[in-house]
């Protein structure tokens, strides 16, 4: 793996850096997580050209434009950000070449252009033509083989940013050599990826605490060892499971209190409704309150819930990835990381 941290400031002299970030979040927490990388490149390179995406648009969708992000980014870094609303690459390249040292550019949502999701090499070559060096600090999208994540690395010297390096370091730690007991808390709506995490970590984990709508998917698989399902629930319409009940909360908190390593991905209830968020609140408080454990949390909905409770600062490592975190912990090779190796 080639890391940005292995380079010296002089390696960036007169270089234009192409920086892949992920602004696909409810607020700017992913942007803030990338500030160390952004500021390092601003200090040492000629200019920084930022690539990102938002949502899954079909063509141009104004609501998913990154124009507003350019203003947030400008406030965070304390300098103007030039927003580029088109993909006329020769014009963009001429604009960047004529810019003063320290200039920052943000391209429009890459998913507005055909070829990004398909990992199109022609698009990647166009993107690469805008810079001299490529840095990926977008762990959250690195499980996708996109043109700005994978194919672009074929055309430029490419490195993992500081945020990406932290993701790899901390997630590798809890996956390979966790302090035991290791407790894994899994929730959310989708079962995809979570059974793979179970298969990869079941030899190291003491228990998998499962809640949320995921519970209904696992009910037929009760024979799986180490999976602890809720013993009571709060039910919603059509008797669907919407939250864990008070007995399950008590049992889960007891297990969490024993842990020396905790991994959490996905709320254990429907946190969009206050009446079904009590279980997730209790789990969040129990995890953040365990001072002897190394705690890793990921998944956008889970992180946003922690932030609302002001408990995110009590977590040892907050991953910017949801699906990417699950795939990494399942032992899968992420295309965006493999491309940097």
Distance CA 46, CA 62 (A): 31
Four-point Cα dihedral 47, 340, 301, 233, nearest 10: -170
252-306 tens-digit pLDDT: 999 999 999 999 999 999 999 999 999 999 999 999 999 999 999 999 999 999 9
Q: Where are the domains of the chain?
A: 4-162, 169-329
Percent of the chain whose predicted confidence (pLDDT) is above 90: 85
The 10 Å CB-count burial string (b at 16+, else e) for 18-43 is bbbbbbbbeeeebbebbbebbebbbe
Average per-residue pLDDT for the chain? 94
Query: Which helix or strand (DSSP H or E) is residue 246 part of?
Result: helix 246-258
Find all residues with CB under 8 Å of 155, minimum gap 6, and list them: 124, 125, 128, 129
Find all residues with CB under 8 Å of 156, minimum gap 6, and list them: 18, 128, 131, 132, 133, 134
182-236 tens-digit pLDDT: 999 999 877 778 889 999 999 999 999 998 777 776 666 556 789 898 889 888 8
Could you tell me which residues are beta bridge partners of residue 318?
297
Percent of the chain whose predicted confidence (pLDDT) is above 70: 98
Q: What 8-state DSSP symbol labels residue 3?
A: B
CATH code of 4-162, in short, is 3.40.50.1260
pTM value?
0.93
CATH code of 169-329, in short, is 3.40.50.1260
């Amino acid at each position: 793996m080639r890391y940005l941290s292995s380079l010296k400031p002089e390696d960036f002299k007169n270089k234009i850096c192409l920086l892949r970030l992920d602004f696909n979040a409810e607020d700017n927490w992913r942007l803030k997580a990338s500030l160390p990388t952004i500021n390092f490149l601003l200090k040492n390179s000629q200019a920084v050209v930022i690539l990102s995406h938002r949502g899954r648009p079909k063509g141009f969708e104004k609501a998913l434009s990154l124009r507003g992000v350019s203003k947030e980014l400008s406030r965070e870094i304390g300098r103007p950000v030039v927003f580029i609303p088109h993909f006329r690459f020769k014009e963009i390249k001429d604009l960047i070449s004529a810019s003063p040292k320290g200039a920052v550019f943000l391209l429009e949502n890459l998913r507005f252009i055909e070829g990004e999701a398909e990992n199109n090499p022609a698009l990647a070559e166009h993107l690469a033509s805008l810079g001299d060096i490529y840095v990926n600090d977008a762990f959250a999208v690195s499980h996708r083989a996109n043109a700005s994540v994978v194919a672009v690395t074929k055309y430029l010297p490419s490195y993992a940013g500081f945020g990406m390096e932290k993701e790899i370091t901390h997630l590798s730690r809890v996956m390979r050599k966790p302090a035991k007991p290791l407790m894994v808390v899994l929730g959310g709506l989708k079962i995809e990826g979570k059974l793979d995490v179970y298969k990869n970590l079941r030899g190291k984990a003491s228990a998998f605490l499962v809640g949320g709508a995921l519970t209904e998917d696992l009910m037929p698989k009760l024979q799986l060892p180490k999976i602890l399902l809720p013993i009571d629930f709060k039910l919603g319409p059509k008797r669907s499971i919407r939250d864990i009940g008070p007995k399950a909360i008590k049992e889960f908190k007891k297990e969490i209190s024993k842990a020396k390593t905790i991994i959490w991905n996905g709320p254990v209830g429907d946190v969009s409704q206050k009446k079904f968020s009590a279980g997730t609140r209790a789990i969040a408080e129990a995890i953040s309150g365990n001072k002897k454990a190394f705690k890793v949390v990921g998944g956008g909905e889970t992180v946003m819930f922690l932030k609302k409770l002001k408990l995110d600062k009590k977590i040892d490592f907050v991953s910017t990835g949801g699906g990417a975190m699950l795939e990494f912990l399942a032992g899968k090779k992420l295309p965006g990381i493999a491309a940097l190796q």
